[in-house]
Structure 1
Amino acid sequence: MEESMEEEEGGSYDAMMDDQNHNNWETAVDGFRQPPPPPPSIPAPVREPPRGQLLAVPAVSVDRKGPKEGLPLGPPPPPEPNGVIMMLKSCDAAAAVAKAVPAPTPSSTININTSTSKFLMNVITIEDYKSTYWPKLDGAIDQLLTQSPGDYIPISYEQIYSCVYKCVCQQHSEQMYSDLIKKITNHLERVSKELQASPPDLYIERFNIALGQYMGALQSIVPLFIYMNKFYIETKLNRDLKDDLIKLFTEHVAEKHIYSLMPLLLEAQSTPFQVTPSTMANIVKGLYTLRPEWVQMAPALFSKFIPNILPPAVESELSEYAAQDQKLQRELIQNGFMRGDQSRKRAGDELAYNSSSACASSRGYR
């Protein structure tokens, strides 16, 4: 009885184990079986994120102590029956994310740094202005102030113009204007001292040279400093550079010599051709440009070179004008200026001229 029971228990136990092994084997075989291929379908297009936004990527938790050797950084994915297909899907999604989010290019960062460095390198400090830029302007101004008419100056007007432009852009206009005024003032003071040491017979001629040289230099200096004039002198000082520089010559040269110069000019006027007409014209016109009220010192002198200085002529003073013209003709003859050859004048011309003049005079007095 006990043996039969043991045999039945042993047989039932073996049968149970066989059934369990059979079931486990079928399960394992089902796991390795490949499912039928899915029906073909059109994959949905991957939607790219709008510009300026990044796709949300799930964060991966990492142990602070660091990963251990041979272990992955994150938890393994749960087992799925179709593991091969899920792996392909995950790879496709990662590729889509990589394609949708472009990696930042290093060229943009380099360009920003380069432009910033260039901007910083172009900054002109006050030390740079005093040591580099103003010495170039100082040398050019010296050559312009001391050049003779018609001389060639070996300077680069483009370089000087560029220096002025850069200094104005770097907010050095006030310092540059101050240096320019100081430079020209010192030059004019030296000119004034040289004129004071001149003898009377050379005084008029040297004053004419100093005046013409300075006015000629202004024709080059003012255009070179046009940016400073436009963005500093006209805007902040409400003045003009040319007017300021002409005023400097008036204050430091002309005002100091006008009372010594005017008597010499009147004396030269009384003696024809003691001074060349071109020299007299240049000085008289220059003095009128510097200060028009100086006309009151010698109206007759200024009226010979500048129109509309004297009041209009009146009929009662015609005889006086004629007397002045006759006096000038006699002085010219006394100084060796003879009238031209009268032999080619036709007979009767002199008589006709005299009779017509007499008729005109008589009509004028009626």
Structure 2
Amino acid sequence: MKDEGMKEEEEEDPGEAMMDDQNHNNWGAGVYGRYLLEERLLPPAGPPRPAGPEHNGAGLRGCEPGGAAGRAGAAGAIAAINISASTSKFLMNVITIEDYKSTYWPKLDSAIDQLLTQSPGDYIPISYEQIYSCVYKCVCQQHSEQMYSDLIKKITNHLERVSKELQASPPDLYIERFNIALGQYMGALQSIVPLFIYMNKFYIETKLNRDLKDDLIKLFTEHVAEKHIYNLMPLLLEAQSTPFQITPSTMANIVKGLYTLRPEWVQMAPALFSKFIPNVLPPAMESELQEYAAQDQKLQRELIQNGFTR
């Protein structure tokens, strides 16, 4: 009796197991689970079989519906159902290339358009959280390569249009419009690069060994700056020799921007770049001090002629 009592204590109460399993992940272990196993999933027991050696052998007892092998088969069926349901749920969340082209990329395309054409202080009616989520999902679904290709193509087309507009600009507006195009693009990168940070980290940096921001700056260099540098530089030198032809802030923005795009362009106008970029020239020699003093005096005379006082 004592042994039987101990066995009863060791046995797990099916009802208690179901109460503990609030998410019903262990539903096959309770009373209801056994009901499904034995009554629903298993075929009904047939009429009693005649006694005989062919029905009493050890190898055949396991084939009875209520036997251990039958219950194991039912448990396997339940596991298969669970796996099938899980697989179906996963497949429902798969983003096909058609889904990417018809749903996800159009959202990204529209957002990039707005960011590339915004002016400082403009309100952009886009959801940064939604765009970041689109990028994240596409990267997780192995669409990084296609998304990167689409992004580069999108921005390249935009920069080619910008370059054509600059070519059509009259000389008196050329410098100012170049400054606007440069500032607008660099401002857009401050939003575009963070939105695609997940693609940058898990595709561009790991597979291409590059950085998204560097790639996008290179696009502006190749499609805009290189095409206009030989027209722009003479105008900058002329503006430098004519005080107040353009604002000092515009000159500073362009010179610093050109240096960021390609530092070797300093060689085209060392004196101009040295006014805005420190340490681009070799150290001054004592023999050159008189020349520097003469340049300062000339600048002071020009300021006085234009109405500025000491």
Assess same fold via TM > 0.5.
yes
Q: What is the Cα-based RMSD across aligned positions, in Å?
A: 2.8
Distance (whole Å) between structure 2 residues aligned to residue 148 and residue 114 of structure 1:
50
Deviations 1:109-151 (A, max 9, x none): 6654432221010111111110011000000000000000111
Fraction of identical pairs, as percent:
88
Q: 2:171 aligns with which of 196, 200, 205?
A: 200
Residues in 2 aligned to 1:334 and 1:42: alpha-carbon distance in whole angstroms: 115
| SS of the residue 1:163 aligns to | helix
Match of 1:216 among 187, 193, 210: 187
Give the alignment partner of residue 298 of structure 1, picking from 255, 262, 269: 269
Partner residue in 2 for 1:238 = 209
Corresponding residue number in structure 1 for 2:247: 276
Per the alignment, in what secondary structure is the counterpart of residue 153 of structure 1?
Answer: coil
- Structure 1 residue 43 displacement after superposition: 5.4
Partner of 1:343: none
1:91 paired residue number: none
Output one character per residue of 1:253-285: Cα deviation in whole Å (capped at 9) or x when no partner. Answer: 001100110011001111111110110000000
Compute the displacement of 1:201 (Å). Answer: 0.7
TM-score by length of 1: 0.65
Q: How many correspondences in the alignment? A: 258
Q: Which has the higher mean CA deviation after the structures are superposed, 227-236 or 121-130? A: 227-236
Q: In the alignment, residue 73 of structure 1 is paired with which amino acid? A: P
SS in 1 for 2:281: coil
1:160 aligns with 2:131: yes
Residue 74 of structure 1: how far off its partner (Å): 3.4
| Distance change (3 Å), C-alpha of 1:42 and 1:184 | closer
Matched residue type, 1:326 = Q
1:228 aligns with 2:199: yes
Q: Cα–Cα, structure 1 residues 171 and 43, in superposed 2: closer, same or farther, change >3 Å?
A: closer
- Corresponding position: 1:128 with 2:99: yes
1:241 deviation in Å? 0.8
Cα distance in 1 between the residues matched to 2:158 and 2:2: 94
Shift of the alpha carbon at 1:313?
A: 1.7
SS in 2 for 1:338: coil
Distance 1:111 1:162 in 2: 29
Q: Distance in 2 between matches of 1:292 and 1:41?
A: 91
SS in 2 for 1:74: coil
Gaps of 5+ in 2: 12-44, 53-66
> Does the alignment pair 1:119 with 2:94?
no
SS of equivalent residue, structure 2 residue 169: coil
Q: Which amino acid aligns with 1:127?
A: E
The 5-angstrom pairing of residues 1-366 of structure 1 reads: 45=7, 73-75=48-50, 111-339=82-310
Q: 1 CA distance for matches of 2:241 and 2:256?
A: 19
Q: 1:117 to 1:322 in 2, by over 3 A?
A: same
Extract unaligned runs of 5+ from structure 1.
Answer: 1-39, 49-65, 78-96, 340-366
CA distance in 2 between counterparts of 1:143 and 1:318 reads 51
Deviations 1:58-88 (A, max 9, x none): xxxxxxxx98xxxx613489xxxxxxxxxxx
